[in-house]
Structure 1
């Protein structure tokens, strides 16, 4: 259906003229933000965020205090006080999945015993199902080309299937959160299969879930026609999920969760709002840009091992002469981190094994070269208020491509992981029964006298 039929489209003279008026009416001079000390993006020029709340869920370290001064430091991330690197290393050493254990930790502020983890995984398995006919009546109807929109619509529709949808008591919100954590892989993968069938003309495949599988295994099992995957594939995807599941209360989608939860609305509305935030290319869609950028580099650089040739092409990208001409080297830089993003460091340590299994050593070498060259080029071209380094999106898209995950699902894989963090932040906001979040905006429009219709120009 073309929603433009019967309406003014964006290219009609009327809409073009009105859009110009709107832009002129809304534009605010940058000098005014400086004059009134407005922290745009709720961050200062050094990337330090404005303190808007307190959280016990996770901590992000990007600087260290030395002799009374804050200086850039290698990034660190802690889940409920535990170093994420140690959590992942322990799971790898014991040859088990980490996502469910970290989900328990984030929700309940304790590392589970073996029995507690078994019971928790069993509960998530029981919740790993959708209402009767939901796939047919909701997911298969009018499938979207955008999987995040499909996911948000499915989440909002689940409200109608919940007899206690508006109950914001903590036990009920926890029940809803656990169900959504279990349902997200189903909603995402089934949504993709519907799109792939109705829009791309491919076979429709719907595998029923298995309660005993981990979240990472469930994704691969539901997605692939033959449901087959290697242990290495599942374990590396599990690590990706852990690295994406939580990143402090200040990231855009988690802050959205706090803001919307503070209005005391229902869980489904809150999570749909968080999905809308994560969908944005400045937040959850960045790894797609990274893999597309590397496609472009591989197509235009004849010798991937020639550092000078790679450097010259990256310089073209940075100067808006190549790729999408936005002047950005995607996957490099982060709003908070400077010297290193711990998630990228951890992921990079596991990527090599999968690259060998998939025969992608040459591509991995190119990624490592760009990771080395890009910060040097950026520092030479632009004023730097803090250092830049590879972020988690730099390698995650490469991993997803090696796992043969369709690009349409990249942002929803992020959401499948981050639903845990969102749930923890929603519970935290409700537990503390804070005020509705309402920051201040300064009005700068001058006062005006009313003009009668007959006297207007």
Structure 2
């Protein structure tokens, strides 16, 4: 039997019997995507870890405001100004312990992280090199699950055990993604294999650059900007898909490795952490089809993308719009400034202008299509992929770097779920008859 031919024959029927008409969501007031009709998220819990603000209500009407991102009661702009070095490590400490570290606390914390950066004996060879993946996020997820077998008490729900598991994962993510990338290049791209042991005393950002580059070389500006990217991606409230995944999975009482592995699977999706790759692909498509310095051509092409007549025909201008932010995404504002600085140094201002023009023209198009009150802002993904490109970070690592930044947040959201809410998260679904003639 030709299985592929059979699959093509039956797949249409499988799609048909599982398709639910959108009219039912309105008819029964179902919060599709766990969102209210005004786009705000359905409130399902509390969190002390982070806060995301993009609007306020004035006389009962949702009103756009400049975005705010807050980590443990500290606004992101103030957080970035509060340290001179080891910014990401300070941020991780803040997320885990609820306060910024003193000098001796940071020194001790860095020493602990350095002690766990190297992988367990034989793990690199057996788990990473002998079973490489063409997708580094897939390799990261599998490696996390494999680390369960290296833990003497992996299923413990004691907070001290979970905290140790969390710190080990935070320390090892950079090593796993770096080695996973090297294995991918060696096996699938026929490149030489370079494995550099992580160094002590240099922090996460510098270790990543040290481990992914054959020559070990990087500039201070490159390390500083990568450190900033890690800080900006570290936390984004409890409602983002991967953090909520962590809450849902942790509510079952499962182990840390299963919960964090599930979060990685969530972040891998192009509607979440994979969006930065889509931005780069979209920009490359624009450059291939038009004179991107011509504002008229660029605007017309962006309209084609929105109308599903260009790029991947999904009708999305990637890097624009956000579920919470309306007037501005504070991460994008900060990163845009750094992108300009880096683009100037690397003589890439023409391409930086293209990203700025995509932002400006998309805002104009939305006002033309939906009225002067329509607001859409650039999100962090519009500029993060461009900055990674300027840093000579391979595209295979864009989303894994996002995961490396976000893992501390996932671990804290897991702890928050376990100590605050013992109920398993179990929302309800209404059941429709297969012919959609009504509910059971």
Instruction: Settle same-fold status: TM greater than 0.5.
Output: yes
CA offsets, 1:398-417, max 9 Å, x none?
00111111111111000000
Label 1:244 to 1:66 Cα distance change in 2 as closer, same or farther (>3 A). same
Q: 1:354 aligns with which of 318, 339, 342?
A: 342
The alpha-carbon deviation at position 446 of structure 1 amounts to: 7.0
- Matching of residue 97 in structure 1 with residue 48 in structure 2: no
- Matching of residue 274 in structure 1 with residue 250 in structure 2: no
Task: Identify the residue that residue 256 of structure 1 maps to in structure 2.
Answer: 245
Worse-matched range after superposition: 31-40 or 353-362: 353-362
SS in 2 for 1:389: coil
Worse-matched range after superposition: 369-378 or 35-44: 369-378
Task: Identify the residue that residue 12 of structure 2 maps to in structure 1.
Answer: 20
Q: 2:328 aligns with which of 340, 345, 349?
A: 340
Q: 1:66 aligns with which of 52, 55, 58?
A: 58
Task: Identify the residue that residue 375 of structure 1 maps to in structure 2.
Answer: 363
Distance in 1, matches of 2:156 and 2:432, equals 40
Residues 316 and 322, structure 1, Cα contact 8 Å, conserved in 2: yes
Task: Identify the residue that residue 319 of structure 1 maps to in structure 2.
Answer: 307
Distance in 1, matches of 2:362 and 2:249, equals 38
- Matching of residue 329 in structure 1 with residue 321 in structure 2: no
Task: Identify the residue that residue 204 of structure 2 maps to in structure 1.
Answer: 215
The alpha-carbon deviation at position 110 of structure 1 amounts to: 1.1
TM-score normalised by L of structure 1: 0.92
Residues 292 and 354, structure 2, Cα contact 8 Å, conserved in 1: no
Distance in 2, matches of 1:429 and 1:303, equals 47
- Matching of residue 77 in structure 1 with residue 69 in structure 2: yes
- Matching of residue 295 in structure 1 with residue 287 in structure 2: no
Q: Which runs of 5+ in 2 are unaligned?
A: none
Residues 367 and 374, structure 2, Cα contact 8 Å, conserved in 1: no
Residues 140 and 194, structure 1, Cα contact 8 Å, conserved in 2: yes
SS in 1 for 2:82: helix
CA offsets, 1:158-203, max 9 Å, x none?
0111101111110000000000000000000100100100100000
Q: 2:376 aligns with which of 388, 391, 397?
A: 388
Residues 258 and 425, structure 1, Cα contact 8 Å, conserved in 2: yes
Residues 100 and 214, structure 1, Cα contact 8 Å, conserved in 2: yes
TM-score normalised by L of structure 2: 0.95
Task: Identify the residue that residue 128 of structure 1 maps to in structure 2.
Answer: 117
Q: Which runs of 5+ in 1 are unaligned?
A: 1-6, 449-457
Distance in 2, matches of 1:447 and 1:399, equals 50
RMSD value, Cα: 1.8
Label 1:431 to 1:383 Cα distance change in 2 as closer, same or farther (>3 A). farther
Distance in 1, matches of 2:131 and 2:345, equals 38
Label 1:181 to 1:312 Cα distance change in 2 as closer, same or farther (>3 A). same
Residues 46 and 385, structure 1, Cα contact 8 Å, conserved in 2: no
Task: Identify the residue that residue 452 of structure 1 maps to in structure 2.
Answer: none
Residues 366 and 374, structure 2, Cα contact 8 Å, conserved in 1: no
- Matching of residue 418 in structure 1 with residue 410 in structure 2: no
Task: Identify the residue that residue 455 of structure 1 maps to in structure 2.
Answer: none
Residues 282 and 318, structure 2, Cα contact 8 Å, conserved in 1: yes
The alpha-carbon deviation at position 436 of structure 1 amounts to: 0.6
Distance in 2, matches of 1:215 and 1:104, equals 13
- Matching of residue 431 in structure 1 with residue 423 in structure 2: no
How many residues are aligned here?
Answer: 436
Label 1:447 to 1:302 Cα distance change in 2 as closer, same or farther (>3 A). closer
The alpha-carbon deviation at position 429 of structure 1 amounts to: 0.8
Residues 288 and 410, structure 1, Cα contact 8 Å, conserved in 2: yes
Q: 1:283 aligns with which of 252, 257, 272?
A: 272
CA offsets, 1:318-352, max 9 Å, x none?
22232222222110011111111111011112111
SS in 2 for 1:349: helix
Residues 338 and 386, structure 1, Cα contact 8 Å, conserved in 2: no
Q: 1:34 aligns with which of 23, 26, 29?
A: 26
- Matching of residue 110 in structure 1 with residue 99 in structure 2: yes
Distance in 1, matches of 2:102 and 2:60, equals 41
Distance in 2, matches of 1:90 and 1:235, equals 14
Distance in 2, matches of 1:280 and 1:68, equals 35
Distance in 2, matches of 1:418 and 1:427, equals 15
Residues 46 and 386, structure 1, Cα contact 8 Å, conserved in 2: no
SS in 2 for 1:63: strand
- Matching of residue 204 in structure 1 with residue 196 in structure 2: no
The alpha-carbon deviation at position 117 of structure 1 amounts to: 1.2
Label 1:26 to 1:206 Cα distance change in 2 as closer, same or farther (>3 A). same
